[in-house]
Every structure is written in structure tokens, then in C-alpha cells.
Amino acid sequence: MDAFLIVPALNPVVRAQVFKKDYSNQYKPFLVDVSIKICEVIEKRNFITYGVMLWKIMKRFTNVNHSCPFSGPLKSRNGYLDTSLLPPFPQAFYQISLTVVDLNSTNKDYVGTMKFYLQVMDQIKIKKIPKA
């Protein structure tokens, strides 16, 4: 994913929401709905659990590895969700929605929304045939 910020993001805030697909094939809110001030997490002034998890993923797979403000090209390559960062989830289909806004002293500027779809399931175990 590539993006280019024309105007620097001085105080980005990410709203992280998790939705679970129900029996009527609709995504309903599931447990997580938090707003994270990214600059505070980066500068270690805020230790909200979901913010720390998001920052670890961002540091690993993006070029956003510095403190605020963010500007110019943003790149993300070969990212995946490390299961060691997450608590166990029940088996189901999930949608993770990350909405980014930039808080100024007077208003909120919408930056964008990222949606990720995933399925939680048991690990597939392959039976090995013993050698004779």
C-alpha cells in the first residue's frame, strides 16, 4: 500500500474497531472500539494496549518509524498480523476497521479508512505417515 500525504499529519488519531460476522452475514461491533493518539503512543506517553500493538505492526512493516508529524510518502510492504500480539479470538470472520483523522486545534481532518478482513480458525494439523 502506498499513500502520499500532501498536508502533514500533525496529531493523527486512529479509531480501531473490530466487527464480527453474525449469522445474518452482517458485521456487528465486537468488543473493541478505541481511539488511539498515535503521537502519544510513539513518544511513550500513552500505553493503551491496542495502540502499542498497532505501533509494533507499523514499525515493522511501514516507513512510519519516527515521531510526529507525518508527511510525504507512506509505504507498507509485506505486512501480516502476528498472532503473538493478539489475544485469542473465537472462531469466526472478522473485520478490522482503522479510521485515521488528524486533530488540529480547531477541527478534525479525515485522512482515510483501512479495512482488513480475516478469519480465525483452528490450526490445520497434517498427519505424518510413519516411514516403514
Class of domain 2-120: mainly beta
Q: Could you tell me the pLDDT band of residue 24, with boundaries at 50, 70 and 90?
A: very high
* pLDDT at 132 (0 to 100): 66
For the ranges 46-50, 63-67, 75-79, 93-97, the one whose mean pLDDT is highest: 93-97
CB crowding 39-75: b at 16 or more within 10 Å, else e: bbbbeeeeeeebbebbbebbeebeebeeebebeeebe
pTM of structure: 0.80
* pLDDT given at position 46: 80
